[in-house]
Structure 1
């Protein structure tokens, strides 16, 4: 298969993705949706070896990483990639104190998350090398792909063994509702879909028109928040502890535990920041990213890029095959953290059974197809403005990845530029769980306190589990 045929396949798929189009229209030149993936390596970085590794990787065979976005023609076009144009070395950023290494990386990520667009004169990605911090930061425009695509690319390019199936982003199984609906027969399934669609449509319209909107709180963003200076703090956990908490609650998922920690942590934080002694059931709405892929095999997609042996539909595993759901988070400081997990599990179970993510995808596709990506981006902004935060949960590579014989010890991800004052992105890798909490620091000046509230809630859960097992 030639490059031209690959380009046609890629362009066709990109036009079918509502989010792929919206991300190219959504932001102003000073504010773009860019994914930042920071990978800390074990040994000092050899820049030339890094260049050679990337040049010979699958990235250079993938049309998404080898195409220019031509705005005037509203299309992607294949181009030659000069690796030197995409590698940016920062020799002056150093770690003066080992304890501040993470803070230095987070400070860099926060700085480039605002008003640092990717140049459209080259494919929409670049690699920043922080030699003093032994960190490689991959910046990828969100129109190129979502978090699942990015993690799959990392595994395919830098994994040591044959990659495995990658699923899981936000809702662990977005197709769960289909299985549940089948138990009630075809007519029951149709009715549930129809009533879910009507209810969702009115809720979406209400939020677009701002008839439904979160109450103003110390966490609220607003117009212009996307260009405010950012501050980023990491909450660290162990996957083993997440699993032990999950097992204590029947049929709970890792995602339920994460949401329970966030719900409990916000309850503690709002109680501290509120003038009232106790925060009474204050409700926030979170936008939760949901992976819609039923199954996404990395090795199959890499075969497609190299040999063209797969069908066009399988290429759709790449890109933005993600949608969002709206999750109410009830903040009440009187509940035990495990009760927050149970409440979040119950809420997420309803989301999985309601077809909300799939219907949101269809609604978004209809709006973008009929009215264009500019209208879609306007609606997206309105939806963001009616909510308080964004949460995503991405499963990182299931194996150790190595960049030029240099093992990656830690992976963190964050995304720039939304209308919320706070975003949270969790990535699990090598038994570690990193929750990146990025805030508009003019609105939330103390993210360290917020992260401490999350960690305190987690420790309360863990201590309860440890005591019950004695």
Structure 2
């Protein structure tokens, strides 16, 4: 493990004198690609029909659509003679980045499923070479029980955040019903009221109240985040091993799918948001799993880091809009962590399941009604300015390591999409390189929400964990809707 870190640090500090560079590396990209932290995003696209007959469409898509999206896809990160990290454009060979996995006919779907899981684990855990542009596309032509074929995109997080990279991914796809029309994505930042009465508070009183609330929430969130990144840490539990170097250990990855309409019904019935329902389901399922694995652990101190976008926008922007320098949502990494304590349960089986949803709503609402994430961002930037990007990256690594898990979500197209007339059956993604025993991601697509879990192999029983998540959703649904379904 030490050798891997040492080699990576040497690669990070290679000196390139007299090179022509396109742009300096942003601070956030430096944090995510250092000797302390190296994070990748792995997106899996499942296809309805076999893809082994003609793979040229993949190479054509990469050459004609993917690479032109952003110069970073053809660049490497280097350090110039002044010690400043820059993106340096290089020539690349597609065969180094596009890898095809064929199969022997006649094997069972169970065999292909097992092979796919192991292959996905290897891709997610492995490091991308620093000597070439940091992305790969893996084409798995054999079928699984979930798809007739799979394409896996692995892209280093320093190239952009989930918003940027998923936007790039969707640029490569077309609507199945009408390829000439743009993809339709849900509006961002949509909130749903928690009651029906109008707020009659006088405007001036309301403004003063909001300002005081903003101030106290900011101070509280900043203090809590600072303590959890430095002094405090979550208890060791069945979802947090606390192992050193856990980011290098293999992950078991599994998914579960929920109907978006079903989630909306629950949301409407109890007056919350979609995110509240999903996060509440996760937290309830997590506590159920913890209690099943270790008696009493459902009362342990456990925290989730919820990733939120800091872009001041209400809709998705195209990649062309993002790369413009005057864009309000320029390409890159624009996100922040919210520390969200996971609701404790004295009696997991006897507790009201909806309490987890209500708690998630109140906690996230308070944290979004503050500038804590902005102040933390300024703190990290100060650390970088005075002590360097490596120390700032270590601070972020420590923040991740001291929490129990990370939760992040993305929204995908409403209608079905296709890649060169190959219909997409499903999409999910995972983060690799996070120093935690468990990471949870969500993405919506074509009326469904796909939840993916990456769990430390041989420590977390992924089958039992996924069963607990499904059980939690069923209980929350029953509590909210009764016999309506």
Distance 1:75 1:340 in 2: 45
Choose 314-323 or 159-168, whichever is displaced more. 159-168
**Does the aligned pair in 1 maintain the 2:249–2:456 contact within 8 Å?**
yes
Provide the alpha-carbon RMSD of the alignment: 2.9
Shift of 1:22: 0.3
**1:55 aligned to 2:75?**
no
Within 2, Cα distance between the matches of 1:117 and 1:195?
Answer: 42
How much has 1:388 moved relative to structure 2?
0.7
**In the alignment, is the contact (CA less than 8 A) between 1:289 and 1:325 conserved in 2?**
yes
In the alignment, what sits opposite 1:36? Answer: 42
Residues 375-454 of structure 1 correspond to what in structure 2 (within 5 A)? 375-444=391-460, 446-454=461-469
Question: Is 1:469–2:480 an aligned residue pair?
Answer: no
The counterpart of 1:302, out of the listed 315, 320, 323, is 320
The structure with more helix, counted as a fraction of residues: 1
SS at match of 1:132: coil
Taking a change above 3 Å as real, the CA distance of residues 219 and 159 of structure 1, as seen in their structure-2 partners, is same
Structure 2 unaligned blocks of 5 or more: 1-19, 144-148, 176-180, 192-200
Q: In structure 2, the residue corresponding to 1:56 is in which secondary structure?
A: helix
1:218 Cα deviation from its structure 2 partner = 1.8
> Alignment partner for residue 21 of structure 1, among 14, 30, 39?
30
Indicate the structure whose relative CO is greater, using CA pairs within 8 Å and at least 6 residues apart.
1
Aligned equivalents of 2:36, 2:117: Cα separation in 1: 23
Q: Is contact 1:172-1:255 (8 Å) kept?
A: no
Structure 1 position 285, deviation (Å): 0.4
* Aligned counterparts of 2:317 and 2:155: Cα–Cα separation in 1: 21
Contact 1:87 1:127 in 2 (8 A): yes
Query: Aligned pair 1:108/2:119, yes or no?
Result: yes
**1:127 alignment partner, one of 124, 132, 137:** 137
Cα offset, 1:99, TM superposition: 5.9
Q: Distance in 1 between matches of 2:130 and 2:48?
A: 33
CA shift digits 1:304-356 (9 cap, x unpaired): 65xxxx4x241743211111110001231132222211111111111111233
Against the structure 1 CA distance between its residues 275 and 214, is the aligned structure 2 distance closer, same or farther, given a 3 Å change threshold?
same
Which whole-Å CA distance do the structure 2 matches of 1:172 and 1:382 have between them? Answer: 32
Match for residue 80 of structure 1 among 69, 91, 98: 91
1:341 pairs, out of 316, 339, 357, with: 357
Give the deviation of 1:385 after TM superposition.
2.2
Worse-superposed segment, 237-246 or 450-459: 237-246
Q: Which deviates further from its counterpart, 83-92 or 65-74?
A: 65-74
* Preserved contact between residue 167 and residue 295 of structure 1 (Cα < 8 Å): no
The normalised TM-score by structure 2 is 0.82
Change (3 A) 1:95 1:158: farther
Which string of whole-angstrom CA distances, capped at 9 and with x for unpartnered residues, describes residues 91-128 of structure 1? 148894446765543332222222x2112222111100
CA contact (8 A) 2:218 2:370 kept: no
Distance change (3 Å), C-alpha of 1:124 and 1:53: same
- Aligned length in residues: 437
User: Against the structure 1 CA distance between its residues 64 and 400, is the aligned structure 2 distance closer, same or farther, given a 3 Å change threshold?
Assistant: farther
Contact residue 439 and residue 455 of structure 2 kept, 8 A: yes
Match of 2:301, SS state, is: strand
| SS of aligned partner of 2:342 | strand
**Partner Cα distance (2:400, 2:41) in 1:** 18
**1:51 CA drift (Å):** 0.5
Residues 27-426 of structure 1 mapped to structure 2, 5 A cutoff: 27=36, 32-45=38-51, 46-71=54-79, 74-92=85-103, 96-98=107-109, 104-114=115-125, 116-133=126-143, 134-160=149-175, 161-164=181-184, 168=188, 194-209=215-230, 211-222=231-242, 223-250=244-271, 252-276=272-296, 281-295=299-313, 300-302=318-320, 310=324, 312-314=325-327, 316-332=329-345, 333=348, 334-426=350-442
Shift of 1:391: 0.8
Change beyond 3 A, Cα 1:59–1:206: same
